[in-house]
Structure 1
Amino acid sequence: MADWKRIFTPDSPPLEIVVRGSVIYLALFFLLRVLLKRESGTTGVTDLLVIVLIADAAQNGMADDYTSVTDGVLLVVVIIGWSYLLDALAYRWPAAARLIRPRPLLLVRDGQILRRNMRRELVTDGELYGKLRQQGVDDLADVCEVRMESDGRFSVITRGRDRPHQPDEQDAG
Structure 2
Amino acid sequence: MSGLFDVDWAEAFALGLSPLELFARGTAMYWFLFFIFRFFVRRAVGSVGVADILILVIVADAAQNAMSGEYNSVSDGFVLVGTLIFWNVLLDRLSFRYPAFRRFAAAPPLCIVRDGKMLRRNMRKEYITEDELLSQLREQGVDSLDKVKDVYLETDGNFSVIKREENP
Provide structure 2 residue ranges, at least 5 long, that are not aligned to the other structure: 1-5
**Paired letter, 1:101:** A
**Paired letter, 2:163:** T
How far apart are residue 117 of structure 1 and its match?
1.4
TM-score w.r.t. length of structure 2: 0.78
Q: Counterpart of 1:78?
A: 83
Query: 3-state SS of the aligned residue for 1:30?
Result: helix
**2:141 maps to 1:155:** no
Q: Counterpart of 1:107?
A: 112
How far apart are residue 132 of structure 1 and its match?
0.9
**2:31 maps to 1:26:** yes
How far apart are residue 42 of structure 1 and its match?
6.1
Cα distance in structure 2, aligned partners of 1:42 and 1:76 = 26
What is the RMSD of the two structures over their aligned residues, measured on CA atoms? Answer: 2.4
**2:101 maps to 1:119:** no
Moved more, 3-12 or 104-113: 3-12
Identity of aligned residues (%): 48
**1:103-154, Cα deviation, whole Å (9 max, x unpaired):** 1111111101112211221211121111111211111011011000001110
**Paired letter, 1:89:** L
**Paired letter, 1:86:** L
Q: Counterpart of 1:164?
A: none
Greater C-alpha Rg: 2
Runs of 4+ in 1 over 3 A off after TM superposition: none
Q: How many residues end up aligned between the 2 structures? A: 147
**Paired letter, 1:66:** Y
Match of 2:102 among 97, 104, 125: 97
Q: Counterpart of 2:43?
A: 38
TM-score w.r.t. length of structure 1: 0.76
Cα distance in structure 2, aligned partners of 1:133 and 1:68 = 51
Query: 3-state SS of the aligned residue for 2:84?
Result: helix
How far apart are residue 18 of structure 1 and its match?
0.7
Cα distance in structure 2, aligned partners of 1:3 and 1:142 = 68
Q: Counterpart of 1:67?
A: 72
